Amino acid sequence: MLFNSFVFLFAFLPAALLIHWLVERFKPEWRLPLLLILSLGFYGYWDWRFAPLLVLSILVNWLAARSFIHSGRDILIPLAIAANLVVLAIFKYFNFFADLANLIPGLSAPKYDIALPLGISFFTFHHIMYLTDLKAGKAPRFDLVRYGLYIAFFPQVLAGPLVRWSEIMHQFEERPYQRSDAAERFARGLMLLVIGLAKKVFFGDQLAEYANPIFQSAAAGHAIGMGEAWQAALGFTFQVYFDFSGYTDMALGLALLFGIVLPQNFDVPYKAVSLQDFWRRWHMTLSRFLRDYLYIAMGGSRKGLAIQIAALTATMTLGGLWHGAGWTYLAWGASHGVGLAANTLWRKAGYSMPNPLGWFCTFSFFVLTIIIFRSQDFSAAWRIYEGMLGLGAEGYTMKWRAIALGAAIALIGPTAWTMVHKLPPWRSIAVAFAILFVIVLFKIGDDVNYEFIYFQF
């Protein structure tokens, strides 16, 4: 059930809000079980066969946490984390590991066509965050309903943001519609939902039509012209931003409608003046997870420069692999690890760079590396690079209007979250958002309704 689908916007969401309001008003003790049931129903709508996996994942991890609390056996937490990673590896990386094994002479590992459960990377990381903090003595015990809702809350279960237990659990205890700012929060949630939908259908999907055919042509072995290559590179650069930040805006808006504040995930990343600055602004909750649960665990900056450089490179390489089971994702992550290492060495050497030059280098680096991320293989990426250098085909004029408009919005900002919290409560603004919502609905009805890019991760 896509957030940008009629079945969600006109069936699931209105029904869920109505039932939630009735329960919150007349039977508030039923609110959390209801949200959990709604979340599991939302997840199961995609493919009912995956719903038992999510339920079993919640139950097993909750029991592991409960056993650790009662017994104090430290081994239980590493075993539970390892079990989560094994399940993730089976569903997401089995064939990738089989390909690696088949590189060994005389070995023939089987490969299977295993369907990837939606959101498995995201809910696995939620388990890991809670279990790690529980072992460190930072997280308390939660009952099954609250823990299940932390993992499965429908606005963020499929593609984030990655939410720490400490950011959301206390909100479950509130009576959201009895707050003094309840109406304001609900209105801002609606505005975020509309903005996210607009970013997705007017920019993300439009830019997909610019980029997808060219990357497909490169994957098919065709030479790519200079105009095509730059259209594909810049088109996908802004497509992935509007697609994913649009989803995040919708997730934050939907959560607000149900009385929950989720953490922001983007802070105008294309304004970054260094690669380190970029990763503080892009997919911020993933960056935070990688920093706190991988980079610091590997030693971080506490054990000398050599360890820091190795930890940066390894962390980002694993972050790339998290995005997908393929060499291109691995290479993309490694390139950002090397870039961050170079950024660290530059800074520690005492060098500086003017902000305009820093922005140009950072943005150019992202554009060049995102080609590897998007391409099906290295050969396809190489054809795009050849085209960008004028070494490919000829006779193609670049489509630039949607790219130029998207670039202006993405580079100038502000974020949707900042904007909706600065808008005054004027009736004219409410009318404008209502008109925008109607226009978006017509656009959804007329065009191809693309899935969100990060659903595949």
On whether both 172 and 53 belong to a single domain, the answer is yes
On whether both 134 and 214 belong to a single domain, the answer is no
Structure tokens at 43: 């997840």
Report the C-alpha gap between 31 and 176 in whole angstroms: 11
Query: Quick check: is 331 in a domain?
Result: no
On whether both 258 and 374 belong to a single domain, the answer is yes
Q: What pLDDT was estimated at residue 448?
A: 57
Domain boundary residue, one of 123, 148, 178: 178
On whether both 27 and 107 belong to a single domain, the answer is yes
Q: What pLDDT was estimated at residue 450?
A: 66
Domain boundary residue, one of 120, 145, 178: 178
Catalytic residue among 20, 126, 283, 323: 323
Query: Quick check: is 426 in a domain?
Result: yes
On whether both 108 and 214 belong to a single domain, the answer is no
Residue-wise over 416-446: b if at least 16 C-beta within 10 A, else e? bbeebeeeeeeeeeeeebeebbeebbebbee
Report the C-alpha gap between 392 and 202 in whole angstroms: 30
- Tokens 């070995």 correspond to what residue? 107
pTM (predicted TM-score): 0.93
On whether both 259 and 361 belong to a single domain, the answer is yes
Q: What pLDDT was estimated at residue 280?
A: 96
Among candidate residues 149, 234, 244, the one with its CA nearest the CA of residue 455: 244
Q: What percent of the chain has pLDDT over 70?
A: 98
On whether both 262 and 381 belong to a single domain, the answer is yes
On whether both 146 and 226 belong to a single domain, the answer is no
What is the DSSP annotation of 154-190?
TTTTTT-----HHHHGGGGGS-GGGSTTHHHHHHHHH
Domain boundary residue, one of 178, 205, 220: 178
Query: Quick check: is 226 in a domain?
Result: yes
On whether both 240 and 259 belong to a single domain, the answer is yes
Report the C-alpha gap between 247 and 249 in whole angstroms: 5
Q: What pLDDT was estimated at residue 455?
A: 67
Q: Cβ neighbours of residue 144 under 8 Å, at least 6 residues apart?
A: 58, 59, 62
Domain count, the chain: 2
On whether both 214 and 100 belong to a single domain, the answer is no
Query: Quick check: is 315 in a domain?
Result: no
* 323 assigned to active site: yes
Rounded (10°) angle between helices 378-388 and 327-348: 60
On whether both 59 and 99 belong to a single domain, the answer is yes
Query: Quick check: is 326 in a domain?
Result: no
**Mean pLDDT by 10-residue block, N- to C-terminus, for the chain (457 residues)?**
87 96 95 96 88 95 96 93 94 86 81 83 95 95 97 92 95 92 94 96 93 95 94 96 95 96 96 96 95 92 91 95 91 97 93 94 97 96 95 83 94 92 91 94 72 70
Q: What pLDDT was estimated at residue 102?
A: 82
Q: What pLDDT was estimated at residue 212?
A: 94
Residue 67: which domain range? Answer: 6-178
Query: Quick check: is 341 in a domain?
Result: no
Report the C-alpha gap between 345 and 94 in whole angstroms: 36
Q: Cβ neighbours of residue 272 under 8 Å, at least 6 residues apart?
A: 278, 280, 281, 282, 359, 362, 363
On whether both 60 and 188 belong to a single domain, the answer is no
